[in-house]
Amino acid sequence: MFAGIRSFSFVDVPDFVSAVLFTQGCNMRCPWCHNHSIAYSDTKEQISIEYILKQAEFLRKRVDAICITGGEPTIHKELTAVIEHLKNTLKYYIKLDTNGTNPQMISELTHENLIDYCALEIKAAPENYQKLTGSPADFSRVLQTVDTLRKSSIEYELRMTYVPGLSSKHDIFFFKQLLEEKERAYITIAQSTDIYTVSPMKELIPKRFILR
Ligand code: SF4
C-alpha cells in the first residue's frame, strides 16, 4: 500500500509540522503527474503497513500531524483501518489528499471523525477531465465528494492545478463557478514542464512542452 514516508514537512498540513505518507498507485494517469513514479506503478516494491505504523509511532514525539497523499490513497481498502490507528491510537491530526473518486470512503472517514482536513483536487471542467487525467474518470463521483465535504464538519480545501498546454481558461472559470462563498480554494500552476505518456513497454516517455 505504501511507497514512502517523509519524517518532516512544513508545507503539507496548514498550521502543522507534519510527517507525510505516500501511497502507491493511482486510478488516474494525469500526464503531468508530479508523483508519477509512485502513481503510475502498482508493482514498485511496497513498504509494509506495519513498518509505516511503527515509524508513525516513533515520529509522534516530534510531529502532531500526518498528511496522507499519493498516488491516490482512497484506492486502498486498508486505508480506513490505517487512519483509524493513526487517529484514535496515536492521536494524530490527519490530512488526506484525494482526487475525489471514492466518495463512499470519504463519507465513511468524515462520519467516523477519522480525518481532520481534506484537500480535494478538481482536475478540470467535466468535459476536459479525460484530457487532464488520462483516464475515463466519472466526474459525478468527484461532485459527490465535494458534497460530502461541504456537509461534513471537517476543514477542507478545493484546489486545481493549471497545466500549461493542457488546461484552459474554461477550466479556471468552471472551478470559480463551482466554489461557494468563503470556501477555501487554491489554483496552482504545474511545477513540472514535462508531460508523460506510457509507452507499450510501460516506460514513461517525457514529452517537453512549452510554457505559454
Ligand atoms: S490523480 Fe494525482 S497522483 Fe494520480 S495521476 Fe493524477 S496527479 Fe498523479
- Does residue 6's CB lie within 6 angstroms of at least one atom of ligand 1? no
- Does residue 28's CB lie within 6 angstroms of at least one atom of ligand 1? yes
Task: Provide the residue ranges of all domains of the chain, joining segments of one domain with +.
Answer: 2-208
CATH fold for the domain made of 2-208? TIM Barrel (3.20.20)
Closest to 160 measured CA to CA, from 140, 181, 142: 142
Q: For residue 211, what pLDDT is reported? A: 34
- Does residue 98's CB lie within 6 angstroms of at least one atom of ligand 1? no
Read off the pTM.
0.90
Q: Can you tell me whether residue 120 is helix, strand or coil?
A: strand
Span 82-88, mean pLDDT? 98
Ligand 1 atom nearest to 71, measured from its CA:
3
**Pairwise CA distance, residues 149 & 91, whole Å:** 22
State the DSSP string of 192-209: --EEEEE-TTS-EEEEE-
For 142-192, what is the HEC assignment? HHHHHHHHHHCCCEEEEEEEECCCCCCHHHHHHHHHHCCCCCCEEEEECCC
Looking only at the bridges linking them, the beta strands covering 155-162 and 185-189 are: parallel
Q: Is the dihedral of CA 108, 113, 114, 116 positive or negative?
A: positive
Does residue 59 surpass a pLDDT of 80? Answer: yes
Does residue 56 surpass a pLDDT of 50? Answer: yes
- Does residue 60's CB lie within 6 angstroms of at least one atom of ligand 1? no
**Pairwise CA distance, residues 124 & 130, whole Å:** 9
Whether 123 and 132 have beta carbons less than 8 Å apart is answered as yes
Q: For residue 198, what pLDDT is reported? A: 53
**Pairwise CA distance, residues 10 & 32, whole Å:** 24
Q: 13-25, pLDDT tens digit by residue?
A: 999 999 999 999 9
What is the share, in percent, of the chain residues with pLDDT greater than 70?
A: 88
Determine which residue's CA is closest to atom 7 belonging to ligand 1: 33
Residues 6 or more apart whose CB falls under 8 angstroms from that of 182 comprise: none
